[in-house]
Amino acid sequence: REFIQTWGKSYSLLSHNQKVKLFRNFYTCFFFFPKGIKRFVAGALGPTNKTLSVSPSVEKPDYRNITFDELVEAYKEQAKGLLDGGVDILLIETIFDTANAKAALFALQTLFEEEYSPRPIFISGTIIDKSGRTLSGQMGEAFVISVSHADPLCIGLNCALGAAEMRPFIETIGKCTTAYVLCYPNAGLPNTFGDYDETPHMMATQLKDFAMDGLVNIVGGCCGTTPDHIREIAKAVRNCKPRVPPATVFEEHMLLSGLEPFRIGPYTNFVNIGERCNVAGSRKFAKLIMAGNYEGPAEDSPVAKVQVEMGAQVLDINMDDGMLDGSSAMTRFCNFIASEPDIAKVPLCIDSSNFAVIEAGLKCCQGKCIVNSISLKEGEEDFLAKARKIKKFGAAVVVMAFDEEGQATETDTKISVCMRAYHLLVKKLGFNPNDIIFDPNILTIGTGMEEHNLYAVNFIRATKIIKETLPGARVSGGLSNLSFSFRGMEAIREAMHGVFLYHAIKFGMDMGIVNAGNLPVYDDIHKELLQLCEDLIWNKDPEATEKLLRYAQTHGKGGKKVIQTDEWRNGPIEERLEYALVKGIEKYIIEDTEEARLNQEKYPRPLNIIEGPLMNGMKVVGDLFGAGKMFLPQVIKSARVMKKAVGHLIPFMEKEREENKMHAGTEEEEDPYQGTIVLATVKGDVHDIGKNIVGVVLGCNNFRVIDLGVMTPCDKILKAALDHKADIIGLSGLITPSLDEMIFVAKEMERLAIKIPLLIGGATTSRTHTAVKIAPRYSAPVIHVLDASKSVVVCSQLLDENLKDEFFEEILEEYEDIRQDHYESLKERRYLTLSQARKNGFHIDWLSEPPPVKPTFLGTRVFKDYDLRKLVAYIDWKPFFDVWQLRGNEPFLSNWSQNSAEPLTKVTVNRPDSASTDPYHCLSDFIAPLHSGVRDYLGLFAVACFGVEELSKAYEQECDDYSSIMVKALGDRLAEAFAEELHERVRRELWAYCSCEQLDVADLRRLRYKGIRPAPGYPSQPDHSEKLTMWKLADVERCTGIRLTESLAMAPASAVSGLYFSNLKSKYFAVGKISKDQIEDYAVRKNMSVAEVEKWLGPVLGYDTE
C-alpha cells in the first residue's frame, strides 16, 4: 500500500491479494494432484519503500516519513488479503530495516489474536554487503535477536548478495537460531549493466554446497534467477539432508540488541545501564531536551554518545517531565539515536511511568529493548495487559517490586511480589524467564528515619533469594535513589554507590542504572569515608547518618564533589603516570610521557617507559577490576589514557628502529624468504607458546611468518593467507574443542578450492586425529607437525619443487594406514555397558570411614599479588624445557613426565567402561552421596599469572622473540607452581585434612599427597564444559579476572583450575575411551544433546560419529 500511495496509483491492494486464492486453487489442481506431493503457497510481505530507522532528510536525522502504526495498518491490510486467499505461510522478506519487519510481525500477531488462525511465519533479511549488516546498519546476529520473539518457523536471508557472498552470514544465522534456515540469494552480483551472470548450474552448485554442509533447510533464488535456476537448484539439493536445528542456543542468556547483539549470560560481568539520558536525572540533558536540542551541544559529544564511550552497555531513556510531551520527545530522541551508529549499537532501555511513552519508544527501535518498567500496582489485569503488549514488541521487561499494597520495602515482601509477578509472566503469558528483570527497589537510606535503615540490606538480601529461586530472572536497580538524602554532596553519594554496588554484585545484582564513567573505585574511597558508608549500608551503626554528615561538613566543602587538586603532580614521574592511569586522567599524560622519554639515563628507550611505569599502572587497574573494586567504565578510561601515552611514544620507537636498520646496514632489495607461512591459534583458544616457537624457528630459517595471534576465526585465517599469498597455513590449539575448529578450517579451505598445504600442531593434536578427522576433508596436503624442530623440515619439503610431490604421496600413504589401523581398533575394542561398569564401580563404606574434615572456611577466598618467591621451589622445570625442546634429564629435575597441575575435575562425571577386572572409578565415588547422610565437602580453585600477555607483546614490539616466549613459558610454570603450592596449603591449613603432612617437592611430583585436584579436559574428566559449573559456583571471573573463551579455554593462558577432593582413597585415573550408552546417559544428566556431548568428549569417544 505504501508503494502504491507513493506513486499515486488508484488500486485495491485487498482485491489484488485476494487473487492469491485463484492462484492457489490453480496451483493445487495442476501441481499437487499430478505429482502427489504436498505443495505450499507463501504470501510475501515486502519491505515497502519506506524505513522507520533512517531519515529521508540528511538535515533532519530525527525525521521519518512514515510511522510504525501506519506500517502496521499497511501490513494488516496486505496480510488480510493473503490470508483470505488461503496462503499457507506468511513470508516477511527482503528486510533492509528490522523496525519495518517488527511492524509486520506486530500486524500479523494482531490479526492472529483478533481474526485469523495462526499461520507459520518465515522471516528473511537482507545483508547488503560484506560488512554483514542490513541497510539500516544492523548485524545479522542482532537481526535474529530482534525478530525471534515472533517464534518464526524459518529465518534466513535473501537478495543483495550472491550465494558465495551470502554464505558466511547464513552460517552465522544458523548458529544463532533454533528455527529452520532459508536462503534465496541473487544470481551473483549485478554486472555493470545491472544484469546477473550466474547460470543455473553455477548457482545450483553453490547452493548444493550449502545443503551438503548442513547450513540450510529451504533454498531458492531472488534477483536474476529464472525458472531454469529454480529447477536446477531443486534438482541439485533433492537428495541432500536438511539442516537439523539446535535444540537451544544461548541457553540461560538474556538476548538484547541494538545494531549489535548483546548477550547477558551467567558469567557476564555487571551490566552498566547509562542513566544520563533522563530528563529527571540529568540537568544538562533536561536543559538540552527542553530547548529542543536533541543532538546535544555543537561543541561537545551528545550525552548518549558520551555514556556509551564511558562504558554504558545499555542506554536508559526517560522523558518524564510535566513540561514535555513525553511520547513525542521519546519518539524524536529514539529516532535521533538511530542515526548515530556509535550510539545505536547498544540496546535501549525505554523508561517511563507512562505506558503510552513506553509504546512510543518501542515503535522506534529496530533492536530488542528493555522496558522500564511495569508492576502489579494497578492489579493483575493491568499488569498482564502491559506485559502482553511488551512481549508483542519483543522486548525484555523490568518489573518493580510494587503491588496493590504499595512499594515493597521488607525483604519478604519484595520476594513475594517478585515471585507472584514471575509466575504470572511465565505461566500465564509464556514470557521467557530470561527476559524478566526484577527491580526490588533500591530505596533511600540515611534519612534519619529508623524504618529506612535496612533498605539497602533488604535489597541485597532480596537479590540473593530472587537469583536462587526464580530461574532465568535478572536483578537491576536505580542506584541514585540510594543516596538521595545526600543530594548536593556528590563525593558522599559516589562513595555510597561504589560500596553498595561492590556488595550487591556479590549477591547477584546483574545490572544497574548508573552514571557510566562516574563510579568510584572501591579501594580509592578514603578509608574513613569507606567505613562510614559500610556502616550506613549494612546498618551497623545507628549514628552512621550523623557521622556521614559531619564527615561531609569537614571534608570537601560540605560534601560537594571535591575539586580535584594537583597535589599528585608533585610526585616522581613514575607515580604521576601510574596515578593518571588508575584515575583515568588524560590531561597531563602526554606531558608526563614526554618528560619520562627525555630522561635518557633512566629510560634509554621509549619501550622502557611502556614496560615500566605505564605497565605498572595498568597492572593496578587489572588487579582492581579483577577484584570487583573497579568497574568497566573506569577500565575504559584507563585504557584510553594508556593508548594516548603509547601513541605518543610510537613515532619515537619507529625512528629508533629505522636508525637501528641503518646502522646494521640492512638493505631491502629482493625478497630473501623461501616461503610465506600464516600461523594462527584457532578460534576459541588462547594458547600460543608452541606456535610462537614454531614462528621463531621458521623465521630463523628464512621463512616469512605472518602470525595472526590467538582466538583467530576461520575467515581471518583464510583472508590473511590469500592477502599474503601464503605458501603454507599452520593451525595451533591446546584444548580439545580446538580440534573441531581445525576440522572446520579444513572444510572451508576445500569448499573455497584453496590448495595451500595445512600444518596441524599443538598439545591436543595428534597424527591419528589429523589423519582420521582432518585430512579426509581437504584434498591438499594436511600434515601433523610434532614440534618446532620438525616444522622446518616439513615446510622445506612442501616448498621444494623436486621433493613436494613425493613427500605428499608418502603422507597420503602413511595417513591411510593410520586410518585403517584406527578403524580396525574400533572393531577390536571390547566395552562393558555402563550398567556393568557401575556394578563393578569403586565403593566406599562411608559409615565406617572417619567423617570428612570440615574446611576451615566455607565460601570463596581470593589471594591477590601472591608472593612469587613462595612458588619458585614448586616449579616443575621439565615442561619448561619441553617448551624449548631441550631433551634429556637434568640432575635437579624429577623424572616425572607430567607437570604438577595435571588433571582438573567437574561435577558431572564419566566412568571408564573398557573391559577390565579392576574397579571402575568415577570422581563422584570420592564424595559422600546424599543418601549416606554424611556431610561432605568439595573445593575448587582457579589460579593465573596476569600480565604475561602484556609483557610478552612488549617484547614482540621490540622484536625480541626469545624474551617474548620466555615470558609465556615462565608464566605457565608459575601458574602450575601456584596450583601445586596452593594445594599443599589446602591440605595442611585451609582445609587441614592432612595438617601434619611433611612432603618434599619430589614427593609432590610423585603424587604422594592425600586427596586429588583433577581438572576438566584431563584424563580423570575430559569434559571442558564443567568449567562453566565451576565458574558459576565460585564466581571465578569476577573474583579473579580469569575468563572462559567460547571454547572454554582459560584466559589468561597461564592459568590452572580444578577441583579439590579430600577423601584419602581418592586417586587420579583415566576415563579412557567410552561407548555410546555412557554418552547418552551423560547427555541426559547434563541436559545436553548427544551431539553436543560428543563434541566436547570427542577425543575419548570409543566409536566413530560419522
* Pair type for strands 1043-1044 and 1050-1051: antiparallel
Q: Do 690 and 788 contact (CB within 8 A), yes or no?
A: yes
Q: Which of 648, 687, 983, 1024 is catalytic?
A: 687
Q: Do 262 and 273 contact (CB within 8 A), yes or no?
A: no
Q: Which 3-state string (H, E, C) describes 1040-1084?
A: HCCEECCCCCEECCCEEEEEEECCCCCCCCCCCCECHHHHHHHHH
Q: Which residues pair with 374 in a beta bridge?
A: 399
Strand order in the sheet with 474-475: 474-475, 436-439, 396-400, 370-374, 348-351, 314-318, 271-274, 511-514
Q: Which three cell numbers stand for residue 436?
A: 524478566
Report how far Cα 598 is from the mean position of its chain's Cα atoms. Answer: 42
* Pair type for strands 348-351 and 703-707: unpaired
Whole-number Å distance between alpha carbons of 658 and 635: 34
Buried b (16+ CB within 10 A) or exposed e, 734-756: bbbbbbbbbbbbbebbbbeebeb
DSSP code string of 897-943: -S-TT--B--SS-----BS-SSPBP-GGGGS--GGGT-----EEEEE
Q: Which of 53, 136, 480, 738 is catalytic?
A: 738
For the chain, the first-to-last Cα distance in angstroms comes to 52
Q: Which of 592, 685, 740, 925 is catalytic?
A: 685
Residue 300, annotated as binding a ligand: no
Is 687 in the active site?
A: yes
DSSP class of residue 782?
A: E
Residues whose CB is less than 8 angstroms from the CB of residue 1023 and which lie 6 or more positions away in sequence, other chains included: 906, 908, 910, 1016, 1017, 1093, 1096, 1097
Q: Which of 56, 243, 258 is nearest to 154 (CA)?
A: 243
Residue 687, annotated as binding a ligand: yes
Residue 240, annotated as binding a ligand: no
| Matching residue, cell 614526554 | 594
Residue 736, annotated as binding a ligand: yes
Q: Which three cell numbers stand for residue 218?
A: 529451504
Residue 552, annotated as binding a ligand: no
Q: Which residues pair with 555 in a beta bridge?
A: none
Is 738 in the active site?
A: yes
Q: Do 939 and 1059 contact (CB within 8 A), yes or no?
A: yes
Q: Which three cell numbers stand for residue 802?
A: 623436486
Express the helix, strand and coil content of the chain in percent, nearest 5 each.
Answer: 50, 15, 40
What is the three-class DSSP state of 570?
A: helix
Residue 250, annotated as binding a ligand: no
Q: Do 317 and 333 contact (CB within 8 A), yes or no?
A: yes
Question: Of how many residues is the chain composed?
Answer: 1106
Residue 715, annotated as binding a ligand: no
Residue 452, annotated as binding a ligand: no
Residue 732, annotated as binding a ligand: yes
Residue 1068, annotated as binding a ligand: yes
Residue 611, annotated as binding a ligand: yes
DSSP code string of 811-863: HHHHHHHHHHHHHHHHHH--B--HHHHHHTB----TTTSPPPPPPS--S----
* Pair type for strands 261-264 and 254-257: antiparallel
Q: Do 278 and 351 contact (CB within 8 A), yes or no?
A: yes
Residue 788, annotated as binding a ligand: yes
Q: Dmax over Cα atoms in the chain, in whole Å?
A: 96
Residue 652, annotated as binding a ligand: no
Whole-number Å distance between alpha carbons of 987 and 985: 5
H/E segment holding residue 1026: helix 1026-1034
**Residue 719 φ then ψ, to 5°:** -65, -45
Whole-number Å distance between alpha carbons of 224 and 206: 15
Is 53 in the active site?
A: no
What is the three-class DSSP state of 1011?
A: coil
Residue 159, annotated as binding a ligand: yes
Cα angle 19, 24, 28 (rounded to 5 degrees) comes to 155
Residue 214, annotated as binding a ligand: no
Residue 249, annotated as binding a ligand: no
Residues flagged as binding site for methylcob(III)alamin: 611, 684-688, 732, 736, 788
Residues flagged as binding site for Zn(2+): 159, 222-223
Residues flagged as binding site: 159, 222-223, 611, 684-688, 732, 736, 788, 876, 1013, 1068-1069
Active site residues: 685, 687, 738
